[in-house]
Chain A
Amino acid sequence: MKIVVCVKQIPDPASPYQLDPESYFVVRPNDQVLDDTDRYGVEVALQLSDELGEDASVTLLSMSPGGSQQGIRQALAMGADGAILIEDETLRGADALTTSQILAAAATRAEADLLIAGTESTDGYTGVVPQQVAEIMGVPALTFARKVEHVDGKLRIERQTQAGYDVVEGALPAVLSVTSGVVEPRYPTFKGIMQAKSKPVETLTAADLGVTAKVSQKIVSVEEVEGRQAGDIIEDDGEGYLRIIEKLEEVKVV
């Protein structure tokens, strides 16, 4: 089984983001790190691959400016076999749909049986890419998985819902999006870090994939979010819990 895992490389969330004053895009430093949420997808892929043994391979898929590829290296060091990097200046400012077209084309080209992604990236967080990719590829979308099993050549997941979870099954090929917490991602081992250096990274452009980037998205302005309002203080006179229940009902939590 050929497993392809989406890994987004993002600016280190620990350092403050800067916006380009003209395009309003986030300034992408040379060293981008692995989006933490994609560590879960990588772990799911590695576990499936361990389970399937020889017949399985794990390839990373990332669309981002070139740079040091630290994020890809990290996922390779965790144990992935190789990576595909789509690096193309014409993709700067690509919206989610363009990104999905690119990722779908690359996954098809790599003959992926299973494409794994996060549910939502840490920096862009539109949360639509996995579903779009599935639609473009014409394969089932198994989304928001909090548990993943491979049974009889099919994939069975527990899809996280507001109320609990649904059990969903789908045949391969498929797209799978996993939530954080689905598994405990492994640390890259030191040997893994050494080996990652010599693992193959294939670099492609949009043209290689036969996709013409139509960047139709333009950011017109950026506003600061409103500061949070101070909360209501409920003084407990012994009956405070009733007011709290009322509040929770108001916001439809209970």
Chain B
Amino acid sequence: MSKNPIGPGTPDPLDFLNIDDELSVDERLLRDTVRQFVGDRILPNVAEWFEEGSIPKELGKEMGALGMLGMHLDGYGCAGMSAVDYGLACLELEAGDSGTRSFVSVQGSLAMFPIWAYGSEEQKQQWLPGMAAGDLLGCFGLTEPDSGSDPGSMRTNARKDGDDWVLNGAKMWITNGSIADVAVVWAQTDEGIRGFVVPTDTSGFSTQDIHHKLSLRASVTSELILEDVRLPADAVLPGVAGLKGPLSCLSEARYGILWGAVGAARACYEAALDYSTSREQFGGPIGGYQLTQRKLVEMMVAVNRGLLVALHIGRKKDAGTLTASQISFGKFDNVRMALEVAREARGILGANGITLEYPVIRHMNNLESVITYEGTNEIHTLILGQAITGINAFS
């Protein structure tokens, strides 16, 4: 039994379990830096970006200058930070907006990671330094109009023609598609699914933005169209064949998302806490009523729990003991948690909860994308179900 007395005092409502104590000085410094960047650059502008349905491309350069792009990779101009560092950055970015976090996830985990992990030395030299700096943007083309949760059914194909490759097909829902300088496109070949590094100015490659989104509006989502896109032999990623190529990228990105979701949830909880202590009805602050307190407490507990899960998974990743299904645990639970917190917070803000004056409905709508992309909630349930029963329930 511990002899330490239980101390007096009230914990910080915004860090109830003092999870800050579990972070090193450098981790806190990094977290504070990203938080400050988000406060200076994202929060004052994001409601407008959301309304306009855009995100400024220059943001990439600013993030690159800080070291945020491909930050968890090393060499080739990347910052070489830890998994926990990467997670903390995702959390703070998504406390700003899921769109800005998506921007960083796509660049670092989906576009740079496959080049870094499976690319030839020439491919790495050619692309990674510029992508780390934010001078070059990347996108990741896996999903297709008829192939979402089941990417193995993709139709986009690459066939050999002499030494060249010729790609045909279409990719759908591609983040940063039309603003990218380079697309990592996954296609069927005679040797199974292969990844291709496609400069977006290659003839036959075109994009079409997806409009009328009500979610992730501060993010560009496009369709990629590939019509006889002719690429040299060295455009293929030599280091991987089969579905495990794209799936390993998804694992990297999902890892960032399970942290990011905590950021979105935290922002909603903070907005609701702040609102409920200042908004008065029936002669008192609405936070003084039991129904509201119940909601606030549920949110606070959920956010703290989500962060503990993220930090635990992050420490395992840094220790090299993490499995893909443990990432599914985090993506599955933290994103659904964040969505619930956002919806509850939306209600607490009453009518104000439906405007972009407050961050809550923006987060709530964004999270509808976050729960869908990178493996829907159902897909992660099936991954976890298979992991604990040993029975595949996908098909």
Please determine whether A187 and B66 come into contact, CB atoms closer than 8 angstroms: yes
Give A76's nearest chain B residue, CB to CB: B29
Report if A187-B36 is in contact (Cβ < 8 Å); known contacts: A31-B25, A193-B26: yes
CA distance A200 to B232 in the complex (A): 50
Cβ of B190 to closest chain A Cβ, rounded Å: 42
Report if A31-B28 is in contact (Cβ < 8 Å); known contacts: A187-B33, A188-B33, A190-B81: yes
- 0/1 per residue, B67-87, Cβ < 8 Å to A? 110010000000111000100
Please determine whether B28 and A193 come into contact, CB atoms closer than 8 angstroms: no
CB-contacts of B36-81 with A (<8 A): 36-37, 65-68, 71, 79-81
CA distance A196 to B81 in the complex (A): 13
CB-contacts of B275-319 with A (<8 A): none
CB-contacts of A64-106 with B (<8 A): 68-70, 73-74, 77
Residues in chain A near residue B26, CB distance under 8 A: 73, 193-194, 196-197
Residues in chain A near residue B37, CB distance under 8 A: 187
- 0/1 per residue, A168-181, Cβ < 8 Å to B? 00000000000000
Give A186's nearest chain B residue, CB to CB: B65
Cβ of A143 to closest chain B Cβ, rounded Å: 28
A216 at the B interface (CB under 8 A): no
Please determine whether A190 and B85 come into contact, CB atoms closer than 8 angstroms: yes
Residues in chain B near residue A190, CB distance under 8 A: 30, 33, 66-68, 71, 79, 81, 85
Residues in chain A near residue B81, CB distance under 8 A: 190, 194
Please determine whether A194 and B66 come into contact, CB atoms closer than 8 angstroms: no
Please determine whether A15 and B33 come into contact, CB atoms closer than 8 angstroms: no
Residues in chain B near residue A189, CB distance under 8 A: 65-67, 79
B12 at the A interface (CB under 8 A): yes
Cβ of A63 to closest chain B Cβ, rounded Å: 19
Residues in chain B near residue A191, CB distance under 8 A: 67, 79
Give B26's nearest chain A residue, CB to CB: A193
Residues in chain B near residue A15, CB distance under 8 A: 12
Residues in chain A near residue B33, CB distance under 8 A: 77, 187-188, 190, 193
Report if A194-B79 is in contact (Cβ < 8 Å); known contacts: A15-B12, A187-B66, A189-B67: yes
Which one, B12, B25, B65, contacts A68 given CB within 8 A?
B25
Please determine whether B29 and A69 come into contact, CB atoms closer than 8 angstroms: no
CA distance A5 to B189 in the complex (A): 61
Please determine whether A73 and B29 come into contact, CB atoms closer than 8 angstroms: yes
CA distance A77 to B80 in the complex (A): 15
Please determine whether A188 and B29 come into contact, CB atoms closer than 8 angstroms: yes
CA distance A41 to B322 in the complex (A): 43
Residues in chain A near residue B79, CB distance under 8 A: 189-191, 194
| Total residues of chain A contacting the partner, CB 8 A | 18
Please determine whether A77 and B67 come into contact, CB atoms closer than 8 angstroms: no
Residues in chain A near residue B28, CB distance under 8 A: 31, 70
Which one, B12, B32, B80, contacts A194 given CB within 8 A?
B80
Cβ of B13 to closest chain A Cβ, rounded Å: 11
Cβ of B375 to closest chain A Cβ, rounded Å: 28
CA distance A196 to B65 in the complex (A): 17
Cβ of A66 to closest chain B Cβ, rounded Å: 12
Please determine whether B65 and A193 come into contact, CB atoms closer than 8 angstroms: no
CA distance A199 to B65 in the complex (A): 21
CA distance A69 to B28 in the complex (A): 12
CB-contacts of B314-348 with A (<8 A): none
Please determine whether B25 and A77 come into contact, CB atoms closer than 8 angstroms: no
Residues in chain A near residue B66, CB distance under 8 A: 187, 189-190
A77, A187, A188, A190 interface centre (most CB from chain B within 10 Å): A190
CA distance A89 to B67 in the complex (A): 38
Residues in chain B near residue A33, CB distance under 8 A: 32
Cβ of B378 to closest chain A Cβ, rounded Å: 36
CA distance A190 to B85 in the complex (A): 9
Residues in chain A near residue B68, CB distance under 8 A: 190
CA distance A250 to B7 in the complex (A): 53
Report if A70-B25 is in contact (Cβ < 8 Å); known contacts: A189-B65, A191-B67: yes
Residues in chain B near residue A188, CB distance under 8 A: 29, 33
Please determine whether B36 and A193 come into contact, CB atoms closer than 8 angstroms: no
CA distance A205 to B29 in the complex (A): 27
Give B14's nearest chain A residue, CB to CB: A14
Cβ of B151 to closest chain A Cβ, rounded Å: 32
CA distance A193 to B85 in the complex (A): 11
CA distance A69 to B29 in the complex (A): 11
Residues in chain A near residue B65, CB distance under 8 A: 189
CA distance A196 to B12 in the complex (A): 29
- 0/1 per residue, A215-250, Cβ < 8 Å to B? 000000000000000000000000000000000000
CA distance A191 to B30 in the complex (A): 10
Please name 20 further chain A to chain B contacts, defined as beta carbons within 8 Å, in addition to the given A194-B79, A194-B81, sorted by A numbering.
Answer: A68-B25, A69-B25, A70-B25, A70-B28, A73-B25, A74-B29, A74-B32, A77-B33, A187-B37, A187-B66, A188-B33, A189-B66, A189-B67, A190-B30, A190-B66, A190-B67, A190-B79, A193-B33, A194-B26, A196-B29
B binding-site residues for A, Cβ under 8 Å: 12, 25-26, 28-30, 32-33, 36-37, 65-68, 71, 79-81, 85
* A-B interface, 9 closest residue pairs, ranked by CB to CB distance from nearest: A190-B67, A190-B79, A68-B25, A70-B25, A189-B67, A188-B33, A191-B79, A187-B33, A191-B67
Q: List 15 A-B contacts (CB under 8 A).
A: A31-B28, A33-B32, A69-B25, A70-B28, A73-B29, A77-B33, A187-B33, A187-B36, A189-B66, A189-B67, A190-B33, A190-B68, A190-B85, A196-B26, A197-B26
